[in-house]
Chain A
Amino acid sequence: MKEDRQLIQEVLEGNLEAFNQIVQSYQRPIYYLALRMLKNPENADEVTQKTFLKAYRALSSFQFKSSLKTWLSAIALNLCRTELMRPRREMVELPDQLADSSFDERRDAEEASHRRHLLQQALEDLPLRQKEVVMLRIYQELPFKEIAEALDSTESAVKVNFHHAMKSLKERIGHSEDK
């Protein structure tokens, strides 16, 4: 497996297949990032394509100040922000599979499903910046330093954002449990 740096060099020298390898490596995390942000597969697909197209155009300006994954994530998040400002397409929710299970199993599953639904909703309701930090840290597994680069912020600021996000989510879940 070639390193990102080498692949980028090959792309800049005109090897389109090298870019295809880059796409193959990062397509899945970028798509899932967009899907979590937009909750719509079609939009996520569009954003993924646009992300790589933009990355291809700007590849010569990439300086390896962050990882390629961080850079791609930053591009994808920018596109997601634009997408979120448009009229929303229908969001997708996965149905829980409760058939063929016992009463207790169904009750437990329903409770878990309810809790997941609440958490999902709480995540949706987070301020955009907090949501982005959560996405990049939890799902993209980027370190805070790289998240700061991606969001053009400081490391301490994104850590504070993350802390507030966790607090807010915990409160939402906690309050619902109290009711």
Chain B
Amino acid sequence: MTRCENFSDRLSLFVLGDLSPAESQRLQEHMSTCASCSAEVHGLRDLIGELKSLPLAQVGAPALQEQREMIQEQILAEELRHLPIADPGDAFFVAQRKAIAESLEQETLQDLAALEASSPALISELKELKLPHPGDLFFRRQAKAIQKVLKQEGRQEREGFWAAWAKPLAAAAAVFFLVLGIARITQWEMSTESPDWNMALEYLAVEMDEEVGLETIDQLDDRQLELLANNLEGSIYVESEELLIEEPVDLEDLNEKELDLLINRLEAKAQT
């Protein structure tokens, strides 16, 4: 074997700087007396340079950003898919709260806590919902909402807070109300604490010379009942039945069921 053959498979490594210092030294000494190996190294250097400069379609930052979002979305969907769903009230909600808690400002957290405190029955009802399997719309929307929350993590500047959080919050709200719809809330009462109502009660009390309470509702005549009814603003929902009072009610126009609803509502109101 000639000296050149000894070196032939090392030339490209030399060009790339992958030989040990001792080997490099030996090769350089050899090249100083060998035009063939020296030319070979030249050629390899050019070739590797050309390889490195082969054109490639450059990818822009927006495309990379989009790609990252796709990756995140897939990972998040996978994470959610692996959450134990036998007990959606726990793992799922804990994960959701954690995501939100880590990202939102204190003020918003307090709002959420207040909402939870004001409607414990609703919250527990939500937790007890038997959620569909995780491939469903609910999880997909939830995944998107949480993903957006996570994506915004770290942005704590007060300025532009709502601009930054409008979409995640809107998505979270959409999911919340989606669940709310499923929850089939059967009873929802609107506030009727208007000054007119109190005035009507006072008026009747003076007229009847006694306080209007549960025991006295039955004693009201139609005109007095109408007076009270027309001071109940908004809708009355009882067990999915609705009696909407938008304009002065004429008791004669009410059917038996609606009349019952009205009486029940008035009794409840009188009790409070």
On A, residues with C-beta under 8 Å from B are: 16-17, 19-20, 23-24, 27-28, 31-32, 35-36, 41, 45, 48-49, 52-53, 56-57, 92, 94, 115-116, 119-120, 123, 134, 137-139, 143-144, 159-160, 162-163, 166, 169-170, 173
The chain A residue sitting closest to B70, CB to CB, is A49
**Residues of chain B contacted by A19 (CB below 8 angstroms):** 75
Whether B54 and A53, one on each chain, are in contact in the complex, defined by CB atoms closer than 8 angstroms, is no
The chain B residue sitting closest to A93, CB to CB, is B55
Whether A170 and B57, one on each chain, are in contact in the complex, defined by CB atoms closer than 8 angstroms, is no
Whether A23 and B71, one on each chain, are in contact in the complex, defined by CB atoms closer than 8 angstroms, is yes
**Residues of chain A contacted by B78 (CB below 8 angstroms):** 53, 56-57
Q: A27-B67, A160-B9 are in contact. Are A170 and B48 (CB under 8 A)?
A: no
Q: List 8 contacting pairs A-B, 8 Å CB cutoff, sorted by A.
A: A16-B76, A31-B64, A48-B67, A53-B71, A119-B50, A138-B48, A139-B52, A163-B12
Q: A53-B74, A56-B75, A119-B54 are in contact. Are A169 and B68 (CB under 8 A)?
A: no
**Residues of chain A contacted by B222 (CB below 8 angstroms):** none
B84 within 8 A of A: no
Give the residue of A28, A45, A120 whose beta carbon is less than 8 angstroms from that of B54.
A120
Give the residue of B56, B57, B68 whose beta carbon is less than 8 angstroms from that of A20.
B68
Report the bound CA distance from A4 to B54 in whole Å: 30
B13 within 8 A of A: yes
Report the bound CA distance from A86 to B59 in whole Å: 24
Q: A116-B50, A123-B51 are in contact. Are A49 and B150 (CB under 8 A)?
A: no
**Residues of chain B contacted by A160 (CB below 8 angstroms):** 9
Interface of chain B residues 1 through 43 with chain A (CB within 8 A): 9, 12-13, 16, 18, 43
Q: A16-B75, A16-B150, A48-B67 are in contact. Are A144 and B50 (CB under 8 A)?
A: no
**Residues of chain A contacted by B16 (CB below 8 angstroms):** 137
Report the bound CA distance from A92 to B12 in whole Å: 29
**Residues of chain A contacted by B64 (CB below 8 angstroms):** 27-28, 31
On B, residues with C-beta under 8 Å from A are: 9, 12-13, 16, 18, 43-44, 47-48, 50-52, 54-57, 59, 64, 67-68, 70-72, 74-76, 78-79, 150, 153-154
Whether B72 and A16, one on each chain, are in contact in the complex, defined by CB atoms closer than 8 angstroms, is yes
Report the bound CA distance from A92 to B64 in whole Å: 19
Report the bound CA distance from A94 to B53 in whole Å: 13
Whether A41 and B44, one on each chain, are in contact in the complex, defined by CB atoms closer than 8 angstroms, is no
**Residues of chain A contacted by B9 (CB below 8 angstroms):** 159-160, 163
Q: How far is the CB of A56 from chain B (nearest CB, A)?
A: 5
Whether A166 and B12, one on each chain, are in contact in the complex, defined by CB atoms closer than 8 angstroms, is yes
**Residues of chain A contacted by B71 (CB below 8 angstroms):** 23, 49, 52-53
Q: A20-B68, A27-B64, A116-B55 are in contact. Are A170 and B75 (CB under 8 A)?
A: no
Give the residue of B47, B56, B70, B153 whose beta carbon is less than 8 angstroms from that of A170.
B47
Whether A35 and B54, one on each chain, are in contact in the complex, defined by CB atoms closer than 8 angstroms, is no
Whether A45 and B67, one on each chain, are in contact in the complex, defined by CB atoms closer than 8 angstroms, is yes
**Residues of chain B contacted by A138 (CB below 8 angstroms):** 48, 51-52
Report the bound CA distance from A129 to B161 in whole Å: 52
The chain A residue sitting closest to B50, CB to CB, is A119
**Residues of chain A contacted by B52 (CB below 8 angstroms):** 138-139
**Residues of chain A contacted by B56 (CB below 8 angstroms):** 32, 35-36, 94
Q: How far is the CB of A97 from chain B (nearest CB, A)?
A: 10
Given contacts A24-B68, A35-B56, A137-B16, could you give 6 more A-B pairs where the C-beta distance is less than 8 Å?
Answer: A20-B68, A53-B71, A115-B50, A120-B54, A138-B52, A160-B9
The chain B residue sitting closest to A144, CB to CB, is B18
Whether B12 and A162, one on each chain, are in contact in the complex, defined by CB atoms closer than 8 angstroms, is yes
Q: How far is the CB of B254 from chain A (nearest CB, A)?
A: 57
Of the listed residues A16, A27, A36, A138, the one surrounded by the most CB atoms of chain B closer than 10 A to its CB is: A16
Q: How far is the CB of A106 from chain B (nearest CB, A)?
A: 17
Q: How far is the CB of B196 from chain A (nearest CB, A)?
A: 54
